[in-house]
Amino acid sequence: MQHRLTVSPRTTVGKSSVALNKEGALPAVVYGPKQEAISITVPLPEFEALLRHGGESALIELQGLEKPLQVQIHALDRDPVTHVPRHADFYAVEKGAKVTMTVPLSFVGDSMAMKLGANLVKVLHEVEIESDPSKLPSEIEVDISALAALGDQIHVSDLKAPAGVEILTSGEDVVALAQAVEEESEEDSAAPDMDAIEVEKKGKEETEEEAA
């Protein structure tokens, strides 16, 4: 899915991102192999809405420049406290060229192993893919219903990529697994520490001898 943002060229480059944020704007730059770097200003509310719906891997059409540009977010700087975007780098995608990037994993479905009390261990949270920009997914789904028993694993090779999308991450990598819950045995919790008792007893005897 392609998203659209209406941007404007930024002539005042020295203005701080904080000042622009207060005005509801985000400083950014767009560049690419065949695109000269351009400083732009992006409406902050619209950009944050795009992030919520499309994520950082979204394909975006920038409007408001000399010509519409297909871009992707190449880098995003956020405020460490508020997490509000402070600056963005957009990479202009060549028409017809495939792009390589990482997309998040979305875990869906119900697992019989989880119902039996196992822990779901998520080993990977994203994978690298190669895709035509028009077919770029916002996420790859992981169906955890494949985890039916303790010890079951889901590998990258088990994932189903959308048509036109190739997963580049090694197929042997583990995505998720059903792990048994480790519980402390009653014997371990109830058994007294004999070494500690022996030391305590010996110390008591020495104290009694000194008093005598």
Which part of the chain has CATH 2.40.240.10?
2-94
Give 10-residue mean pLDDT values along the chain (212 residues).
84 68 86 88 93 83 90 90 91 82 91 92 94 81 95 96 92 95 59 49 50 50
- CA-nearest of 151, 94, 89, 158 to 124 is 158
Cβ atoms 123, 183 nearer than 8 A:
no
Predicted confidence at residue 167, as pLDDT, reads 96
CA distance 190 to 97: 66
* DSSP-assigned letter for residue 157: G
Residue 15 is predicted with a pLDDT of 63
pTM here is: 0.60
Question: How many Cα atoms within 13 Å fall on the side-chain side of residue 180?
Answer: 5
Query: What is residue 101's predicted lDDT score, i.e. its pLDDT?
Result: 81
* Homologous superfamily of 100-179: Ribosomal protein L25, C-terminal domain (2.170.120.20)
Q: What CATH code would you report for 2-94?
A: 2.40.240.10
Rounded distance between C-alpha atoms, residue 78 and residue 98, angstroms = 28
